[in-house]
Structure 1
Amino acid sequence: MSGPLPAASAAADAAAARAGVTVRQLHEIEEFESVFELFDRIWRPDPTSPPITTELMRAMSHAGNYVSGAYEGDELVGGSVGFLAAPPGVSLHSHITGATIGRGIGFALKLHQRAWALERGLERITWTFDPLVSRNIYFNLVKLGARPEEYLPRFYGAMEDSINAGDESDRVLAVWRLNEPHVVRAADGSPHRPLVPADAVAGLENKEGRPVFGRTDGRTILVAVPEDIETLRRTDPGAATAWRCAVRDVLGDLMAAGAKVIGFTRGGGYIVDRNG
């Protein structure tokens, strides 16, 4: 088997098999209702503002967009929704992906999404993520090989779901360029872990759970994030706010000035190349 599309399909099938699930596109109203209920269990959103509605999933699927589910036997354990984005014929925007359990289901969903996009001639998938949630950063940058390309302060305005309530909705735009060599390697199970130069400087450090500003004058700058921002929001809202502001100031300013995020360290920090 050779070529990007067969290889992407094979990688997606292998990831699903490792996770013990079957991933497939969804088309029926009952399936969309199940995805709505799944997302409600995961995020426990404000009832007046769900992440997506059953009716919208139905319309998006019918119009040729991406709606999928991961099944363990007959039980839905994960779902993903994306829509075709600008520029036309190039990009899919992945609006929401979630799973009720770990075990590689999210990875299987993303590789299924990648194969779906490549089958339609698309070159990249984008999505937004909270720049403070370390496990999501690791998944996006290391497991998948996506690259942050834009810092978006207060992107969704006020959010009142159980995960984001009490914090501002800063997001980073991730761009997953589907045929880049490091992305292909990541899809095949080799995470993206670029080497950190010996002369890298700490732009933001984690000291006893608090952000401490450092230097941003080196070529490579490390920007730390908290170990568990979701717990911190509940136990120490002041520290959570300090982290939000510090990462916005350091990472946001570096990205706005043209610096490129090239990876994420095992210790929980963005690797930023100041020279792009």
Structure 2
Amino acid sequence: MGEQIGHAGANVMATTGILVGNLHTNEEFGQADALFGRVWGFEPDSRPITAGLMRALTHAGNYVSGAFDGDRMVGASVAFFGQDSTLHSQNTGVEAGHPGVGFELKRHQRLWALERGISRITWTYDPLVRRNAHFNLAKLGARPAEYLPDFYGALADAVNHGDESDRVLATWPLTDPQVEAAVRRAPHLPEVPEDAVLGLAADGDRPVVGRTDGRVVLVAVPEDIARLRAEDAGAAKAWRHAVRDVLGGLMAEGATVTGFHRRTCYVVERN
């Protein structure tokens, strides 16, 4: 770990001893590059973010951080400045077996942005991944702003290979009370009225399209899309298109996603 880690803006996770701080040296960027490779399993020459690019981004004033367990990097995050006082978080990766590191990386990123007058952070995530939806919407208090079909095109990594790269653009208003509560570890739990309708449900590993004419619509996602990609590509594709049609369709009509309910489904409210 480089000597610059742990300077201004760093957080220490007292329960695990993980240290989070900004990266500065080529050695650190190389560790982050290797970590992203371990997390996503990129094919040779297919890495979207390299050590050299991280070096250039930080030199231009952008954000690159790492989370260290002793001398070993176990998480990293890369973000760059966007329009209208926005920081866009492009990659955040955490090694398996290190719960809580992703949350601390986002908290560090938020403080770094606030120190520079940034009021909002955005990022994209796969709407089919339950744990990511729960993390982003419940644990962080972020809000889905846009559904982006096949946003990145074909991706050459072990996680996404063979699937279309639909993404949801999440927005994180850093001083919003919902976000401030979330970073104090009070998760955002949406209210679900009794008259909510099931727009998309699960029948085993297959999606079942229901009603979308209610004021509040619940949109389920599969229990484990990574397993489906590996074991039943047809079911994975069916979920991709069903969520695109139902969730993406509702958002395109102006409906608001108010949260993620019981780690299983989006709560969508018609305006």
- Give the one of 95, 98, 101 matched to 1:100: 95
For residues 73-92 of structure 1, the aligned pairs below 5 Å read 73-87=70-84, 90-92=85-87
The CA deviation string for residues 167-200 of structure 1, in whole angstroms up to 9 with x for no partner, is 0000000000111111101000110001111110
The CA distance in 2 between the partners of 1:75 and 1:176, in whole Å, is: 29
- Give the one of 144, 148, 153 matched to 2:149: 153
Q: Which residue is 1:174 aligned to? A: 170
The CA distance in 1 between the partners of 2:247 and 2:40, in whole Å, is: 26
The CA distance in 2 between the partners of 1:172 and 1:269, in whole Å, is: 14
Against the structure 1 CA distance between its residues 267 and 174, is the aligned structure 2 distance closer, same or farther, given a 3 Å change threshold?
closer
On the 8 A contact 1:209/1:226 being kept in 2, the answer is yes
Q: Which residue is 1:109 aligned to? A: 105
For residues 53-92 of structure 1, the aligned pairs below 5 Å read 53-87=50-84, 90-92=85-87
- Give the one of 34, 37, 41 matched to 2:38: 41
Q: Which residue is 1:251 aligned to? A: 247
Q: Which residue is 1:237 aligned to? A: 233
Q: Which amino acid aligns with 2:74?
A: V
- Give the one of 127, 130, 141 matched to 1:131: 127
The CA deviation string for residues 99-125 of structure 1, in whole angstroms up to 9 with x for no partner, is 113320000000000000001111110
The CA distance in 1 between the partners of 2:77 and 2:204, in whole Å, is: 36
Q: Identity over the aligned pairs, expressed in percent?
A: 60
Superposed displacement of residue 84, structure 1: 0.5
* Partner SS state of residue 42, structure 1: helix
The CA distance in 1 between the partners of 2:267 and 2:21, in whole Å, is: 35
The CA deviation string for residues 54-73 of structure 1, in whole angstroms up to 9 with x for no partner, is 11100000111000000111
The CA distance in 1 between the partners of 2:188 and 2:209, in whole Å, is: 27
On the 8 A contact 2:131/2:263 being kept in 1, the answer is no
Superposed displacement of residue 267, structure 1: 4.8
For the pair 1:263 / 2:254, whether they are aligned, the reply is no
On the 8 A contact 1:205/1:214 being kept in 2, the answer is yes
Taking only aligned residues, the RMSD between alpha carbons, in angstroms, comes to 1.2
- Give the one of 26, 44, 47 matched to 1:50: 47
How many residue pairs end up in the alignment? 262
Superposed displacement of residue 247, structure 1: 0.2
Superposed displacement of residue 18, structure 1: 3.4
For residues 10-29 of structure 1, the aligned pairs below 5 Å read 13=11, 16-29=13-26
Question: TM-score by structure 2 length?
Answer: 0.94
On the 8 A contact 1:39/1:51 being kept in 2, the answer is no
The CA distance in 1 between the partners of 2:39 and 2:204, in whole Å, is: 30
- Give the one of 172, 189, 193 matched to 2:189: 193
The CA distance in 2 between the partners of 1:109 and 1:17, in whole Å, is: 14
For the pair 1:218 / 2:217, whether they are aligned, the reply is no
Unaligned ranges ≥5, structure 1: 1-8
Q: Which residue is 2:161 aligned to? A: 165
* Partner SS state of residue 18, structure 1: coil
Unaligned ranges ≥5, structure 2: 1-8
Question: TM-score by structure 1 length?
Answer: 0.93
* Partner SS state of residue 15, structure 2: helix
* Partner SS state of residue 185, structure 2: coil
On the 8 A contact 1:19/1:105 being kept in 2, the answer is no
Superposed displacement of residue 239, structure 1: 0.3
The CA deviation string for residues 139-174 of structure 1, in whole angstroms up to 9 with x for no partner, is 000000000100000100011200000100000000
Superposed displacement of residue 212, structure 1: 0.4
Q: Which has the higher helix share?
A: 1
